[in-house]
Structure 1
Amino acid sequence: MASVSGAPVDFDTAAEQIRGARLRGELVSQEIAAPERIAPQSIALAAGVARGVRRDDAADTALESPYGAGRIVLMHDPDAFDEWGGTYRIVCFAQAPLELEIGVDPFISDVAWSWLVDALDSRGAGYTYLSGTATKTLSTSFGALEARGDSAQIELRASWTPRGDDFAPHAEAWSELLCLLAGLPHAEGIDSIAARRSRLAAEGA
Protein backbone atom coordinates (compact mmCIF):
# COMPACT_ATOMS: atom_id res chain seq x y z
CA MET A 1 0.00 0.00 0.00
CA ALA A 2 1.31 3.43 -0.86
CA SER A 3 0.42 7.09 -0.88
CA VAL A 4 -0.12 8.98 -4.11
CA SER A 5 3.50 10.13 -3.85
CA GLY A 6 4.67 6.52 -3.76
CA ALA A 7 5.79 6.55 -0.13
CA PRO A 8 4.60 3.49 1.78
CA VAL A 9 1.94 4.35 4.35
CA ASP A 10 0.02 1.68 6.22
CA PHE A 11 -3.36 2.54 7.69
CA ASP A 12 -2.27 2.23 11.33
CA THR A 13 0.43 4.86 10.74
CA ALA A 14 -1.99 7.15 8.94
CA ALA A 15 -4.55 6.78 11.73
CA GLU A 16 -1.98 7.66 14.39
CA GLN A 17 -1.03 10.76 12.44
CA ILE A 18 -4.67 11.84 12.41
CA ARG A 19 -4.95 11.19 16.16
CA GLY A 20 -1.77 13.15 16.80
CA ALA A 21 -2.75 16.19 14.72
CA ARG A 22 -2.39 19.53 16.52
CA LEU A 23 -5.92 20.87 16.30
CA ARG A 24 -6.66 24.45 17.24
CA GLY A 25 -6.87 25.01 20.98
CA GLU A 26 -10.37 26.53 20.80
CA LEU A 27 -11.77 23.11 19.91
CA VAL A 28 -12.82 20.10 21.95
CA SER A 29 -12.25 16.93 19.95
CA GLN A 30 -12.68 13.19 20.28
CA GLU A 31 -12.38 10.08 18.14
CA ILE A 32 -15.78 8.74 17.10
CA ALA A 33 -17.00 5.65 15.32
CA ALA A 34 -16.46 5.99 11.58
CA PRO A 35 -19.44 5.40 9.29
CA GLU A 36 -19.78 1.73 8.46
CA ARG A 37 -19.36 0.21 5.00
CA ILE A 38 -17.76 3.30 3.45
CA ALA A 39 -14.28 1.74 3.27
CA PRO A 40 -12.44 -1.34 4.56
CA GLN A 41 -10.57 0.86 7.06
CA SER A 42 -11.42 4.29 8.39
CA ILE A 43 -10.96 6.64 11.34
CA ALA A 44 -13.13 9.61 12.31
CA LEU A 45 -12.76 12.62 14.59
CA ALA A 46 -15.40 15.07 15.80
CA ALA A 47 -14.71 18.56 17.09
CA GLY A 48 -16.72 21.45 18.43
CA VAL A 49 -15.97 25.02 19.40
CA ALA A 50 -15.64 25.23 23.17
CA ARG A 51 -16.60 28.40 25.01
CA GLY A 52 -16.78 27.98 28.77
CA VAL A 53 -17.31 24.22 28.47
CA ARG A 54 -16.93 22.13 31.60
CA ARG A 55 -14.71 19.09 31.31
CA ASP A 56 -17.62 16.66 31.80
CA ASP A 57 -19.45 18.30 28.89
CA ALA A 58 -16.50 18.09 26.51
CA ALA A 59 -17.63 14.95 24.67
CA ASP A 60 -21.06 16.41 23.88
CA THR A 61 -19.45 19.66 22.71
CA ALA A 62 -17.20 17.78 20.30
CA LEU A 63 -20.21 16.15 18.68
CA GLU A 64 -22.54 19.16 18.64
CA SER A 65 -21.58 22.66 19.71
CA PRO A 66 -23.91 25.65 19.25
CA TYR A 67 -20.88 27.68 18.19
CA GLY A 68 -19.70 25.34 15.44
CA ALA A 69 -18.95 21.64 15.03
CA GLY A 70 -17.72 19.17 12.47
CA ARG A 71 -16.29 15.78 11.60
CA ILE A 72 -13.43 14.43 9.53
CA VAL A 73 -13.07 10.87 8.25
CA LEU A 74 -9.96 9.26 6.75
CA MET A 75 -10.84 6.25 4.61
CA HIS A 76 -8.51 3.60 3.20
CA ASP A 77 -9.36 1.23 0.37
CA PRO A 78 -6.57 -0.46 -1.63
CA ASP A 79 -9.03 -1.08 -4.48
CA ALA A 80 -10.29 2.50 -4.84
CA PHE A 81 -7.37 3.99 -6.78
CA ASP A 82 -9.35 4.40 -10.01
CA GLU A 83 -12.17 6.17 -8.18
CA TRP A 84 -10.17 8.28 -5.71
CA GLY A 85 -6.85 8.70 -7.50
CA GLY A 86 -5.23 7.06 -4.48
CA THR A 87 -5.87 4.51 -1.75
CA TYR A 88 -6.88 7.13 0.84
CA ARG A 89 -9.75 9.60 0.81
CA ILE A 90 -10.71 12.29 3.33
CA VAL A 91 -14.25 13.48 3.92
CA CYS A 92 -15.00 16.44 6.15
CA PHE A 93 -18.01 18.37 7.41
CA ALA A 94 -18.11 21.69 9.24
CA GLN A 95 -20.99 23.96 10.22
CA ALA A 96 -21.48 27.08 12.30
CA PRO A 97 -24.10 29.79 12.92
CA LEU A 98 -23.59 33.14 11.22
CA GLU A 99 -24.49 36.68 12.06
CA LEU A 100 -27.49 37.51 9.89
CA GLU A 101 -25.74 40.30 8.00
CA ILE A 102 -22.99 37.86 7.05
CA GLY A 103 -25.46 35.11 6.19
CA VAL A 104 -27.15 37.25 3.54
CA ASP A 105 -23.83 38.14 1.91
CA PRO A 106 -23.83 36.62 -1.61
CA PHE A 107 -20.13 35.72 -1.31
CA ILE A 108 -20.21 33.83 2.00
CA SER A 109 -20.31 30.36 0.38
CA ASP A 110 -17.32 31.29 -1.79
CA VAL A 111 -15.50 32.58 1.29
CA ALA A 112 -16.14 29.33 3.17
CA TRP A 113 -14.81 27.23 0.30
CA SER A 114 -11.74 29.43 -0.14
CA TRP A 115 -10.98 29.04 3.57
CA LEU A 116 -10.77 25.26 3.15
CA VAL A 117 -8.40 25.60 0.20
CA ASP A 118 -6.27 28.18 2.03
CA ALA A 119 -6.15 26.06 5.19
CA LEU A 120 -4.94 23.02 3.24
CA ASP A 121 -2.37 25.05 1.31
CA SER A 122 -1.06 26.94 4.33
CA ARG A 123 -0.30 23.67 6.12
CA GLY A 124 1.30 21.98 3.15
CA ALA A 125 -1.46 19.37 3.03
CA GLY A 126 -1.15 18.14 -0.53
CA TYR A 127 -4.37 17.02 -2.18
CA THR A 128 -6.06 16.15 -5.44
CA TYR A 129 -9.64 15.41 -6.56
CA LEU A 130 -10.99 18.09 -4.21
CA SER A 131 -14.77 18.50 -4.35
CA GLY A 132 -17.61 19.60 -2.12
CA THR A 133 -20.41 22.04 -1.39
CA ALA A 134 -20.80 25.15 0.77
CA THR A 135 -24.37 25.87 1.78
CA LYS A 136 -25.79 28.84 3.63
CA THR A 137 -29.22 28.60 5.26
CA LEU A 138 -31.44 31.51 6.28
CA SER A 139 -34.28 30.74 8.70
CA THR A 140 -37.26 32.71 9.97
CA SER A 141 -39.14 31.48 13.05
CA PHE A 142 -42.91 31.71 13.49
CA GLY A 143 -45.53 30.99 16.14
CA ALA A 144 -44.15 29.84 19.47
CA LEU A 145 -40.62 30.16 18.04
CA GLU A 146 -41.09 33.70 16.77
CA ALA A 147 -38.96 35.15 19.56
CA ARG A 148 -35.91 33.48 18.03
CA GLY A 149 -36.12 35.82 15.08
CA ASP A 150 -34.14 35.29 11.91
CA SER A 151 -30.97 33.20 11.87
CA ALA A 152 -28.29 32.03 9.45
CA GLN A 153 -25.95 29.05 9.21
CA ILE A 154 -23.10 27.96 6.98
CA GLU A 155 -22.32 24.32 6.24
CA LEU A 156 -19.44 22.91 4.25
CA ARG A 157 -18.99 19.32 3.06
CA ALA A 158 -15.87 18.34 1.16
CA SER A 159 -13.70 15.40 0.18
CA TRP A 160 -10.25 15.05 -1.31
CA THR A 161 -7.49 12.55 -1.92
CA PRO A 162 -4.44 13.32 0.25
CA ARG A 163 -1.00 13.38 -1.34
CA GLY A 164 2.20 12.50 0.46
CA ASP A 165 2.80 10.46 3.59
CA ASP A 166 1.78 12.90 6.36
CA PHE A 167 -1.92 12.99 7.19
CA ALA A 168 -1.86 15.24 10.27
CA PRO A 169 -1.86 18.52 8.27
CA HIS A 170 -5.19 17.55 6.72
CA ALA A 171 -6.87 17.26 10.12
CA GLU A 172 -5.21 20.49 11.22
CA ALA A 173 -6.55 22.29 8.14
CA TRP A 174 -10.05 21.00 8.91
CA SER A 175 -9.76 22.34 12.46
CA GLU A 176 -8.73 25.73 11.07
CA LEU A 177 -11.74 25.74 8.75
CA LEU A 178 -14.09 24.96 11.62
CA CYS A 179 -12.72 27.81 13.72
CA LEU A 180 -12.96 30.27 10.84
CA LEU A 181 -16.58 29.34 10.15
CA ALA A 182 -17.31 29.92 13.84
CA GLY A 183 -15.89 33.44 13.62
CA LEU A 184 -12.68 32.81 15.54
CA PRO A 185 -9.48 34.67 14.59
CA HIS A 186 -7.87 33.54 11.36
CA ALA A 187 -4.38 32.08 11.19
CA GLU A 188 -1.47 33.72 9.44
CA GLY A 189 -1.75 33.34 5.69
CA ILE A 190 -5.56 33.18 5.65
CA ASP A 191 -7.70 36.25 4.99
CA SER A 192 -10.30 37.45 7.45
CA ILE A 193 -13.89 37.22 6.25
CA ALA A 194 -14.01 40.96 5.54
CA ALA A 195 -10.82 40.86 3.47
CA ARG A 196 -11.92 37.80 1.51
CA ARG A 197 -15.40 39.21 0.82
CA SER A 198 -13.84 42.44 -0.47
CA ARG A 199 -11.48 40.52 -2.72
CA LEU A 200 -14.25 38.34 -4.16
CA ALA A 201 -16.45 41.37 -4.74
CA ALA A 202 -13.61 43.12 -6.58
CA GLU A 203 -12.98 40.06 -8.75
CA GLY A 204 -16.66 39.86 -9.63
CA ALA A 205 -16.92 43.54 -10.52
Structure 2
Amino acid sequence: MTELPPATATPFERAGEELRSVAFRSDFAVREIPAPPGLAPFSLALAGDVRPDGSGTDSPFGTGRFILLHDPDEPEPWGGAWRIVCFAQAPLETEIGTDPLLADVAWSWLLDALASREAAYHAASGTATKTLSKGFGALADQGDGAQIELRASWSPQAPFGPHVEAWAELVCMLAGLPPGSEDIAVLGSRRTMRD
Protein backbone atom coordinates (compact mmCIF):
# COMPACT_ATOMS: atom_id res chain seq x y z
CA MET A 1 0.00 0.00 0.00
CA THR A 2 1.33 3.43 -0.93
CA GLU A 3 1.83 5.80 1.98
CA LEU A 4 -0.20 8.97 1.95
CA PRO A 5 1.88 12.10 1.36
CA PRO A 6 2.52 14.20 4.45
CA ALA A 7 0.26 17.16 5.16
CA THR A 8 3.16 19.45 4.24
CA ALA A 9 3.36 18.05 0.70
CA THR A 10 2.68 20.46 -2.14
CA PRO A 11 -0.45 20.07 -4.27
CA PHE A 12 1.70 18.64 -7.09
CA GLU A 13 3.40 16.14 -4.76
CA ARG A 14 -0.02 14.98 -3.53
CA ALA A 15 -1.28 14.66 -7.13
CA GLY A 16 1.82 12.64 -8.07
CA GLU A 17 1.34 10.23 -5.20
CA GLU A 18 -2.32 9.83 -6.16
CA LEU A 19 -1.37 8.91 -9.74
CA ARG A 20 1.35 6.51 -8.58
CA SER A 21 -1.15 4.68 -6.33
CA VAL A 22 -3.61 3.83 -9.14
CA ALA A 23 -3.89 0.10 -9.86
CA PHE A 24 -4.22 -0.82 -13.54
CA ARG A 25 -5.56 -3.93 -15.21
CA SER A 26 -3.05 -6.79 -15.31
CA ASP A 27 -2.52 -6.62 -19.10
CA PHE A 28 -1.69 -2.91 -19.12
CA ALA A 29 1.81 -2.08 -17.85
CA VAL A 30 2.40 1.50 -16.67
CA ARG A 31 5.72 3.09 -15.74
CA GLU A 32 6.85 6.59 -14.89
CA ILE A 33 9.02 8.24 -17.55
CA PRO A 34 10.79 11.60 -17.79
CA ALA A 35 8.32 14.37 -18.60
CA PRO A 36 9.03 16.54 -21.65
CA PRO A 37 10.79 19.71 -20.45
CA GLY A 38 9.33 23.18 -20.71
CA LEU A 39 5.61 22.35 -20.71
CA ALA A 40 4.94 23.57 -17.16
CA PRO A 41 6.80 24.29 -13.92
CA PHE A 42 5.73 20.85 -12.61
CA SER A 43 5.00 17.72 -14.64
CA LEU A 44 4.72 13.98 -14.23
CA ALA A 45 4.65 11.56 -17.18
CA LEU A 46 3.53 7.95 -17.47
CA ALA A 47 3.91 5.47 -20.31
CA GLY A 48 1.47 2.60 -20.73
CA ASP A 49 1.68 -0.49 -22.92
CA VAL A 50 -0.90 -3.17 -23.65
CA ARG A 51 0.64 -6.59 -23.03
CA PRO A 52 4.26 -5.47 -23.46
CA ASP A 53 6.91 -7.99 -24.46
CA GLY A 54 9.40 -6.83 -21.83
CA SER A 55 11.85 -5.23 -24.26
CA GLY A 56 11.14 -1.73 -22.97
CA THR A 57 9.84 -0.58 -26.34
CA ASP A 58 6.29 0.34 -27.28
CA SER A 59 3.92 -2.61 -27.32
CA PRO A 60 2.83 -3.98 -30.71
CA PHE A 61 -0.76 -4.04 -29.41
CA GLY A 62 -1.19 -0.46 -28.18
CA THR A 63 0.71 2.21 -26.32
CA GLY A 64 0.13 5.60 -24.74
CA ARG A 65 1.52 8.49 -22.73
CA PHE A 66 -0.11 10.52 -19.95
CA ILE A 67 1.30 13.81 -18.66
CA LEU A 68 -0.03 15.76 -15.70
CA LEU A 69 1.01 19.42 -15.82
CA HIS A 70 0.80 21.94 -12.98
CA ASP A 71 1.33 25.69 -13.17
CA PRO A 72 0.30 27.63 -10.04
CA ASP A 73 0.07 30.78 -12.22
CA GLU A 74 -2.99 29.24 -13.95
CA PRO A 75 -2.31 29.87 -17.66
CA GLU A 76 -5.34 31.43 -19.31
CA PRO A 77 -5.77 28.71 -21.99
CA TRP A 78 -5.89 26.06 -19.24
CA GLY A 79 -8.55 27.85 -17.21
CA GLY A 80 -6.85 26.64 -14.03
CA ALA A 81 -3.59 25.34 -12.55
CA TRP A 82 -3.76 21.81 -14.01
CA ARG A 83 -3.67 20.31 -17.50
CA ILE A 84 -3.50 16.75 -18.78
CA VAL A 85 -1.96 15.86 -22.11
CA CYS A 86 -2.33 12.32 -23.39
CA PHE A 87 -1.50 10.19 -26.39
CA ALA A 88 -2.79 6.75 -27.37
CA GLN A 89 -2.18 4.64 -30.46
CA ALA A 90 -2.87 1.13 -31.72
CA PRO A 91 -2.63 -0.81 -34.98
CA LEU A 92 -5.86 -1.83 -36.71
CA GLU A 93 -7.11 -4.14 -39.37
CA THR A 94 -7.03 -2.27 -42.69
CA GLU A 95 -10.82 -2.55 -43.09
CA ILE A 96 -11.35 -0.83 -39.74
CA GLY A 97 -8.82 1.87 -40.64
CA THR A 98 -10.91 2.91 -43.65
CA ASP A 99 -14.07 3.45 -41.57
CA PRO A 100 -15.01 7.16 -41.98
CA LEU A 101 -16.29 7.30 -38.38
CA LEU A 102 -13.16 5.84 -36.79
CA ALA A 103 -11.74 9.18 -35.58
CA ASP A 104 -15.11 10.18 -34.08
CA VAL A 105 -15.37 6.84 -32.29
CA ALA A 106 -11.86 7.17 -30.82
CA TRP A 107 -12.68 10.63 -29.43
CA SER A 108 -16.00 9.39 -28.02
CA TRP A 109 -14.20 6.54 -26.23
CA LEU A 110 -12.07 9.08 -24.36
CA LEU A 111 -15.09 11.17 -23.37
CA ASP A 112 -17.04 8.05 -22.35
CA ALA A 113 -14.11 6.81 -20.23
CA LEU A 114 -13.89 10.18 -18.45
CA ALA A 115 -17.66 10.21 -17.87
CA SER A 116 -17.78 6.64 -16.58
CA ARG A 117 -15.25 7.55 -13.90
CA GLU A 118 -16.88 10.89 -13.10
CA ALA A 119 -13.60 12.62 -13.94
CA ALA A 120 -14.54 16.31 -14.02
CA TYR A 121 -12.81 18.45 -16.63
CA HIS A 122 -13.20 21.39 -19.00
CA ALA A 123 -11.45 22.83 -22.09
CA ALA A 124 -10.95 19.46 -23.79
CA SER A 125 -9.29 19.42 -27.20
CA GLY A 126 -7.55 16.89 -29.38
CA THR A 127 -6.99 15.18 -32.69
CA ALA A 128 -7.65 11.65 -33.89
CA THR A 129 -5.52 10.49 -36.80
CA LYS A 130 -5.95 7.32 -38.78
CA THR A 131 -3.11 6.14 -40.99
CA LEU A 132 -3.22 3.62 -43.83
CA SER A 133 0.01 2.13 -45.12
CA LYS A 134 1.19 -0.23 -47.84
CA GLY A 135 4.62 -1.85 -47.99
CA PHE A 136 6.75 -1.77 -51.14
CA GLY A 137 10.09 -3.29 -52.12
CA ALA A 138 11.71 -4.99 -49.14
CA LEU A 139 8.63 -4.13 -47.05
CA ALA A 140 6.09 -5.55 -49.52
CA ASP A 141 5.72 -8.73 -47.45
CA GLN A 142 4.25 -6.68 -44.62
CA GLY A 143 1.17 -5.95 -46.72
CA ASP A 144 -1.34 -3.26 -45.90
CA GLY A 145 -1.78 -1.82 -42.44
CA ALA A 146 -3.67 0.79 -40.46
CA GLN A 147 -3.21 2.67 -37.20
CA ILE A 148 -5.29 4.99 -35.02
CA GLU A 149 -3.69 7.71 -32.90
CA LEU A 150 -5.43 10.05 -30.47
CA ARG A 151 -3.80 13.12 -28.93
CA ALA A 152 -5.86 15.00 -26.38
CA SER A 153 -5.64 17.49 -23.56
CA TRP A 154 -8.04 18.79 -20.94
CA SER A 155 -8.06 20.75 -17.70
CA PRO A 156 -8.91 18.29 -14.91
CA GLN A 157 -10.45 18.76 -11.52
CA ALA A 158 -9.19 16.67 -8.61
CA PRO A 159 -9.15 13.84 -7.86
CA PHE A 160 -6.70 12.93 -10.62
CA GLY A 161 -6.83 9.13 -10.33
CA PRO A 162 -10.03 8.86 -12.41
CA HIS A 163 -8.34 10.79 -15.23
CA VAL A 164 -5.40 8.37 -15.51
CA GLU A 165 -7.85 5.45 -15.30
CA ALA A 166 -9.81 6.90 -18.23
CA TRP A 167 -6.61 7.26 -20.26
CA ALA A 168 -5.71 3.62 -19.52
CA GLU A 169 -9.16 2.52 -20.66
CA LEU A 170 -8.77 4.52 -23.88
CA VAL A 171 -5.43 2.87 -24.74
CA CYS A 172 -6.88 -0.58 -24.09
CA MET A 173 -10.04 0.17 -26.10
CA LEU A 174 -7.96 1.28 -29.09
CA ALA A 175 -6.01 -1.99 -28.77
CA GLY A 176 -9.25 -3.98 -28.89
CA LEU A 177 -9.51 -4.66 -25.15
CA PRO A 178 -12.71 -3.17 -23.71
CA PRO A 179 -13.31 -3.04 -19.93
CA GLY A 180 -13.69 -6.52 -18.46
CA SER A 181 -11.56 -8.21 -21.15
CA GLU A 182 -8.48 -8.87 -19.01
CA ASP A 183 -6.60 -12.00 -20.09
CA ILE A 184 -8.61 -12.43 -23.30
CA ALA A 185 -6.46 -13.22 -26.34
CA VAL A 186 -5.65 -10.50 -28.86
CA LEU A 187 -5.71 -11.65 -32.48
CA GLY A 188 -2.17 -11.44 -33.87
CA SER A 189 -3.12 -10.48 -37.43
CA ARG A 190 -4.85 -7.33 -36.24
CA ARG A 191 -1.99 -6.24 -34.03
CA THR A 192 1.00 -5.92 -36.34
CA MET A 193 2.96 -2.71 -35.89
CA ARG A 194 4.02 -0.90 -39.05
CA ASP A 195 7.60 0.32 -39.60
The answer to which structure has the higher helix fraction is 1
TM-score, normalised to structure 1, is 0.80
Match of 1:25 in 2: 26
Match of 1:72 in 2: 66
Distance 1:40 1:73 in 2: 13
Match of 2:77 in 1: 83
Match of 1:41 in 2: 42
Distance 1:111 1:89 in 2: 23
Distance 1:185 1:38 in 2: 32
Counterpart code for 1:89: R
Match of 1:168 in 2: 161
User: What is the CA RMSD across the aligned residues, in angstroms?
Assistant: 1.6
1:142-176 deviation digits (Å, cap 9, x = unpaired): 1111011100000000000002x210010000000
Query: Does the aligned pair in 1 maintain the 2:86–2:153 contact within 8 Å?
Result: yes
Structure 1 position 178 matched with structure 2 position 171? yes
Structure 1 position 98 matched with structure 2 position 99? no
Alpha-carbon deviation of 1:187?
A: 5.3
1:11-50 deviation digits (Å, cap 9, x = unpaired): 1001111111222321111000001111100000001011
Report the identity percentage.
58
TM-score, normalised to structure 2, is 0.84
Match of 1:4 in 2: none
Alpha-carbon deviation of 1:80?
A: 2.7
Segments of structure 2 that go 5 or more residues without pairing to the other structure are 1-9, 182-195
Aligned residues: 172
Distance 1:186 1:101 in 2: 23
Match of 1:138 in 2: 132
Closer, same or farther: CA 104–186 of 1 in aligned 2, 3 Å:
farther
Query: Does the aligned pair in 2 maintain the 1:93–1:157 contact within 8 Å?
Result: yes
Distance 2:103 2:122 in 1: 21
Distance 2:145 2:72 in 1: 44
Distance 2:107 2:26 in 1: 22
Distance 1:121 1:26 in 2: 23
1:87-106 deviation digits (Å, cap 9, x = unpaired): 00000000000011111111
Structure 1 position 12 matched with structure 2 position 5? no
Structure 1 position 157 matched with structure 2 position 158? no
Match of 1:200 in 2: none
Counterpart code for 1:69: T
Q: Displaced runs of 4+ in structure 1, greater than 2 A?
A: 22-25, 185-188
1:44-96 deviation digits (Å, cap 9, x = unpaired): 00010116x3xxx26x15xx111110100000001134220110000000000
